[in-house]
Structure 1
């Protein structure tokens, strides 16, 4: 990113290759909308180019990138009031390719939808920390850097988010 900041704009392609999939995963788990998430990934990289002068190099580029992604997501939510969507064609195809029976596919689909519904009922803060920790597999100190909080606060937030998710899931089952 320091090379991009210095004017070597071709290097943004390397950053895109390295980070577009994890970034897409984060945005998708926050919205459950494939096309919207793809668009937001593009917006993040556009903003990285546009605001490259603000990158200080003092932390990891992915922390700066996720901060931009969070802002893009907030803008998108304000603009369009995102709603959670259902199952994608890719999920069905992956289950068929894995040799699942129709019953097994239905069970996986129902479990995934239940988790999505439970996640959707979480506050945005809880959904965000769970997505970063459980789906993006970021460590607590990395999430703390992205969110501007202490590692202890993030540990507590993840723990409380998991408790809340379990509670919501149990209520849904009843």
Structure 2
């Protein structure tokens, strides 16, 4: 990024190749909308170019990138009238389960994914965000703290609370689905 900042704009292609997939995954888990995420990723890279002068190289590039992504995501959410949480594409997820899995096992896994999706969508945006960053993006607590402008200890607490809320939501959903089966 320092080379891009210095004017070597060809290096932006290299950054795109390295980071567009994890960035897309982060945005997808936050919104659940494939087409919107493609636009959001493009906006992040556009802002990287536009605001390249703000990258000073003191911190890690990923931290700066996720900070930009969060700003774009917040701008996007503000433009929408109401945001009800991510709606994951279960068909897309179940395709990834394929292979030698028996049909009943695949159906069970799909139902578990749907329950997890529902549980994630019921999380507060703050809890969903720290879980996505820590579990899906595999960012370290220290990196998340820099992105969210807080302490590492605060992130540990947020992740712990988010996991507790997710577990509670998941068990409530599972309990409800078993009651319907009877």
TM-score (norm 1): 0.93
Q: Conserved in 1, the CA contact under 8 Å of 2:144 and 2:155?
A: yes
Alpha-carbon offset, residue 82 of structure 1: 4.2
Q: Residue 116 and residue 89 in structure 1: after superposition, are their counterparts in 2 closer, same or farther (change >3 A)?
A: closer
Residue equivalent to 1:77: 77
Residue equivalent to 1:66: 66
Residue equivalent to 2:140: 139
TM-score (norm 2): 0.89
Counterpart among 61, 82, 93 of residue 95 in structure 2: 93
Q: Conserved in 1, the CA contact under 8 Å of 2:133 and 2:139?
A: yes
Aligned residues: 173
Q: Which structure is larger by alpha-carbon Rg, 1 or 2?
A: 2
Residue equivalent to 1:36: 36
Residue equivalent to 1:104: 105
Provide the alpha-carbon RMSD of the alignment: 1.5
Q: Residue 41 and residue 88 in structure 1: after superposition, are their counterparts in 2 closer, same or farther (change >3 A)?
A: farther
Alpha-carbon offset, residue 166 of structure 1: 0.9
* SS of structure 2 residue aligned to 1:56: coil
Unaligned runs of 5+ in 1: none
Alpha-carbon offset, residue 85 of structure 1: 2.6
